[in-house]
């Protein structure tokens, strides 16, 4: 699972996830990419599941880049706990994704193979995604 080695603070505010991505919105490293079409929060488990799905198609033929990293902690209170008594313990990590952000990139594959790989990765993610190619 992806998570930061260390953070300045154990717990964070939830915050808002609005707007469109102004950075990371182009295919920079590979030939083909998977772009988020709506704002969402990707958990480290979802990113890992999508990575495995892409790796299955790539085999030894190409290279993969993961362009998102889960650096935002989500806390949860135990079930059946009463109100008050502070914020819950850190539970899992998410990556806040804005619309237009490129999530994964691949190179060294034929376009149809890359499209299948990205489609299978897209099924693992909670937001709408689109296959894009580098200009």
pLDDT in tens, 28-84: 999 999 999 999 999 999 999 999 999 999 888 899 999 999 999 999 999 999 999
- What is the pTM for the complete model shown? 0.93
Instruction: Output phi, psi for 117, to 5 deg.
Output: -60, -45
Mean pLDDT, residues 10-39: 96
In the chain, where the domains are located: 32-77+86-133
Question: Looking at domain 32-77+86-133, does it have CATH number 3.90.1170.10?
Answer: yes
Give 115-118 contacts, CB < 8 A, sequence gap 24+. 115/32, 116/57, 117/53, 117/54, 117/56, 117/57, 117/58, 118/32, 118/33, 118/34, 118/54
Mention every residue, 6+ apart, whose C-beta is less than 8 A from residue 32: 105, 106, 107, 109, 111, 114, 115, 118, 131, 132, 133, 134
């Amino acid at each position: 699972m992806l998570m930061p080695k260390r953070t300045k603070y154990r717990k964070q505010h939830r915050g808002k996830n609005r707007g469109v991505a102004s950075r990371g919105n182009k295919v920079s490293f590979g030939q083909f990419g998977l772009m988020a079409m709506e704002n969402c929060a990707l958990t480290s488990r979802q990113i890992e599941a999508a990575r495995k799905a892409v790796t299955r198609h790539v085999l030894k033929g190409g290279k993969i880049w993961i362009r998102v990293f889960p650096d935002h902690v989500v806390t949860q209170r135990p079930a059946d706990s009463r109100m008050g008594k502070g914020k819950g313990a850190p539970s899992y990590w998410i990556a806040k994704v804005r619309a237009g952000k490129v999530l994964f990139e691949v190179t060294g594959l034929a376009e149809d193979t890359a499209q299948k790989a990205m489609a299978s990765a897209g099924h693992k993610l909670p937001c709408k995604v689109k296959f894009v190619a580098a200009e």
